[in-house]
């Protein structure tokens, strides 16, 4: 049952990530904003979901698996982040490589803290 919950949540997260990527056209000539956006939103969501779970057991273990592990895991994408950075490096675009990496990491961590703070 736990695997099914992660599978279902991951499917919904992946479809939503794909839809956002189609709506926001990524370009290899600049920051891939769609991936950056989903990773920051996913970080905010996982902070809120886990914060609510830790604070007052708002979500059951099954709901946490569905939402945090499944949905957020399927929605966010480290592999796309790594691939997009490899394109920057291959093209010698070290400025966008550094900017995208720094923004992704710092904004995602800040988003987790904001998510935790919002549910306090």
What sign has the CA pseudo-torsion 41, 12, 49, 101? negative
Per-residue pLDDT for the chain (120 aa), expressed as one digit of tens each?
999 999 999 999 999 999 998 998 755 568 889 999 999 999 999 999 999 988 888 899 999 999 999 999 999 988 889 989 999 999 999 999 999 999 999 999 999 999 999 998
Distance of CA 113 to the CA centre of its chain: 14
Contact 76, 43 (CB under 8 A): yes
Separation of alpha carbons 53 and 75, rounded Å = 19
Give the 3-state secondary structure of residue 93: coil
The residue extents of the domains of the chain are 2-118
Position 25 scores a pLDDT of 72
Run of H or E including 40: helix 33-56
Q: Is 20 exposed, middle or buried (0-12, 13-18, 19+ CB in 10 A)?
A: middle
Q: Which two tokens stand for residue 69?
A: 């592990």
């Amino acid at each position: 049952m736990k695997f099914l919950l992660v599978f279902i949540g991951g499917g919904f997260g992946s479809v939503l990530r794909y839809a956002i990527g189609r709506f926001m056209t990524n370009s290899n000539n600049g920051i891939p904003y769609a991936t950056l956006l989903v990773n920051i939103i996913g970080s905010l969501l996982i902070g809120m979901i886990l914060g609510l779970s830790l604070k007052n057991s708002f979500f059951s273990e099954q709901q946490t698996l569905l939402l945090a592990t499944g949905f957020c895991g399927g929605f966010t994408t480290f592999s796309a982040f790594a691939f997009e950075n490899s394109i920057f490096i291959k093209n010698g675009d070290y400025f966008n490589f550094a900017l995208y990496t720094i923004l992704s990491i710092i904004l995602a961590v800040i988003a987790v803290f904001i998510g935790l703070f919002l549910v306090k």
